[in-house]
Amino acid sequence: MKNVAESLSNPFGFDPGCDRFVPGYGDANAHFHVVGDHPGVHGGVDSGIPFTGSESGERLQRALADAGLLDAAGSPPEVGKTYLSYLHMCGADGTPSQTSYDDLEPLFDSEFRAITAHVILPVGERATRHVFSVATAESADDVDMDDLHATEVMGSGWLVYPIKEPMAWTDEDETALVDALVALQETDYRREADLGRFGPTGESYLVR
């Protein structure tokens, strides 16, 4: 089943009930879902688009474009088969409270499961912890971003590629991420099987 969306911005029409928020942006049937933390870390309050208007977001965009996950970086980026969103979409002064994260978690998880991308790319420790808790059998308590950065983690129906905070990257970290994502796309990262042969018409029916 494919999502039908009229807009790249907020294709599911979420309203988190805050004055300033940065909804998800991109292909609602994306192969790749990039998950950031909140607008105060990765930008977008002015544009309404994740990973824009901040040095951190722009550096990440450039790496994703170099790897072929974005057709072009910018504000807005040309997303191709990629979706960008935040764990906490509301703007906040400073770091949001845990209560605020908890209040917005159902919206994020609904979006996450609606898109059902093949590859999840959580950016930063908090996003990685959450993705580990909902999409893998990995412990969300023992997260070392230096060790996990740009490595493949098997999930429950997903592949997960954690990304350390872009502002903490060395040149080697950036190169490792680009190289890993280029190599990933040369594999069968979708991990799908065609079960159409068991149906009455023989039409393709792909499952993970």
Question: Does residue 109 contact residue 134 with C-beta atoms inside 8 Å?
Answer: yes
The CATH architecture to which 25-207 belongs is: 3-Layer(aba) Sandwich (3.40)
| Mean per-residue pLDDT of the chain | 89
Rounded Cα distance between 174 and 165, Å, is 11
Q: Is the pLDDT of residue 198 over 60?
A: no
Q: Give the number of other CB atoms < 10 A from CB of residue 14.
A: 17
pTM of the model: 0.88
Rounded Cα distance between 180 and 25, Å, is 23
Half-sphere exposure of 185 (CA within 13 A, CB side): 15
CA separation (Å) from 100 to 27, 105, 128, 168? 27, 9, 18, 26
Q: Is the pLDDT of residue 202 over 60?
A: no
Of 31-40, 72-81, 184-193, 197-206, the one with minimum mean pLDDT is: 197-206
Rounded Cα distance between 43 and 22, Å, is 9
Rounded Cα distance between 162 and 151, Å, is 7
Question: Residue 195 — very low, low, confident or very high, per pLDDT cuts 50/70/90?
Answer: very low
Q: For 202, left (φ over 0), alpha (ψ -120 to 50), or beta?
A: left
The residue ranges of every structural domain in the chain are 25-207
Task: Write the pLDDT tens digit of every residue in 17-63.
Answer: 998 999 999 999 999 999 999 999 999 999 999 999 999 999 999 99
Task: Write the pLDDT tens digit of every residue in 104-142.
Answer: 999 999 999 999 999 999 999 999 999 999 999 888 998
Rounded Cα distance between 154 and 184, Å, is 13
